[in-house]
Amino acid sequence: MPQREGTAEAGPARVPVPAAGTTPGGARPEGADGPGTGAGGFRLLWSAAVVSRLGDALRNAALPLLAVQLTGSPLLISLVTAAGFLPWLLFGLLGGAVADRVDQRRAMWMTDAARGVLMAGFAVAVWRGHASIGLLLAVAFTLTTLQTVFDNAATALLPSVVGPDALGRANARLMTGQEIAGRFVATPLLPVLLGLGLAVPYAADAATYLVAAALIAALGTAAPAGDTAPPARRSTPAGAAAPPAGEAATAAGAATPDREGAPGGEGAPGGERPPSGKGPAPRGEDPPGRRSLHHEAAAGIRMLWRDRVLRALGVSTLLCNIGIGALIATLVLLVTGRLGAGEAGYAAVVTGYGVGSVLGGVAAARTADRLGQARALLVCGAVQTAALVVLGTVRSLPAATVALAVFGFAGTVWNVTGVTVLQQRSPARALGRVSAAFRTLAVAGAPLGALLGGVIADGWGSGAPALFCAGLLLLGVVALIPGLNPSVAASAGKRPTT
């Protein structure tokens, strides 16, 4: 099951810079859609994200099976998984700096094309019997390194494709489509492909990368993110409406959890946000390209930390992902051991989680609109905490299945809302860097949580990690509160018209 969003599985986005043909308020006039904007552009982007997710799910499920055939060493097998995390910790921040320097569409399709060629070569190696653990490690590491550029560019692109007013619904559709493709299409398809040959899932993955690259290339081209940027942050006058807050994804891609209403003005937890439009770089920052990548990456961290809402969201996501990492690592022990449900029981609870996640994606935008972004995040965090308490204390397979379905539902609503908040609050020029800082923080929690989960299960039983996760999610909810402005937390996410 996925962690808190911020690890970018959702689609692209970026909000503050209006694309050609948009009105001052960010809405697109009817008939103004070009090849890379509006409904047509989003359909291409959605299709690319879903196709790519299908290939990723096939590869991620097939790699451990191949690793087991190549070695009996648990350490070497675990290193294949670790190789998929390490690049985010080493290069994630630099990937965001690169995404802010270049044309995001071009970066995305070229990255996917490169990954397609790499996977095609790997499929040939498997087919010819030349696969090795060393090759698996190299492929996993290289794919994730390229992903650091792709995901951060995607986060910065979406807002320019759909416009700020449609971000929440666009993020929800992206996450829902990816969940269906990855869980309900790839899972039954994998045994069929493996029956055709050990190399076939990897060849299918290569094909999905190349198809996704072609779809993204069809979006056309846009000016590099560094060519435009919002002016320095200003407060929205009391009573004025403001654009919704979100993960730095309005012009760069899907983002992560959190917050009510909209950034700035009446609907925003923080009561202020960077306005849309062209202007100088964020205060105190040079435009991308004038400094080294390391300096630009550090600027992304500073911008994330200076924003009260994003700082609270980042700390909350880190706490949650430590807990979720512990849960993921030990869930099979809880179901097969504590519940005595075996493999069929494990499949049932995972399916319940998937169904809940899809339903959450369908309801996410409506829920955030009705409750407001801040209240939606707080309610979802509280609901997930309660579901985990049930999971960790009740010895019943049906109860565990329902608990994980509820957990998945609330988690997807959280992720969609948080992604939108990050996108909308981040300066357009720095969306890739802020998104990278957020993702790196989020990714760092999962491996630590997995390690703690094993220790906790060993010492206190297989139900204890679920309760540990519940405690950290509750702390995550508490961590959000300082970032939410009580005076605006109850309002809906209205946007300014200027």
Cα–Cα distance measured from residue 427 to residue 291, given in angstroms and rounded to the nearest whole number: 18
pLDDT at 38: 56
Q: How confident is the model at residue 10 (pLDDT cuts 50, 70, 90)?
A: very low
pLDDT at 295: 86
pLDDT greater at residue 39 or residue 467: 467
Q: Which one, of 163, 160, 243, 244, lies nearest residue 420 by Cα?
A: 244
Q: Which one, of 356, 331, 329, 330, lies nearest residue 346 by Cα?
A: 331
pLDDT at 93: 85
Cα–Cα distance measured from residue 323 to residue 3, given in angstroms and rounded to the nearest whole number: 9
pLDDT at 5: 53
pLDDT at 409: 96
pLDDT at 86: 83
Q: What angle do CA 445, 450, 455 make, to 5 degrees?
A: 125
The yes-or-no verdict on residue 185 having pLDDT over 80 is yes
The yes-or-no verdict on residue 330 having pLDDT over 50 is yes
Tokens of 298: 């550090």
234-235 and 272-273 strand pairing: antiparallel
The yes-or-no verdict on residue 228 having pLDDT over 80 is no
Tens digit of each residue's pLDDT (9 = 90 or more) over 439-494: 888 888 888 888 888 889 888 988 999 999 999 999 999 999 887 754 333 333 33
The yes-or-no verdict on residue 311 having pLDDT over 60 is yes
The yes-or-no verdict on residue 259 having pLDDT over 50 is no
- Rounded to a whole number of angstroms, the CA Rg of the chain reads 21
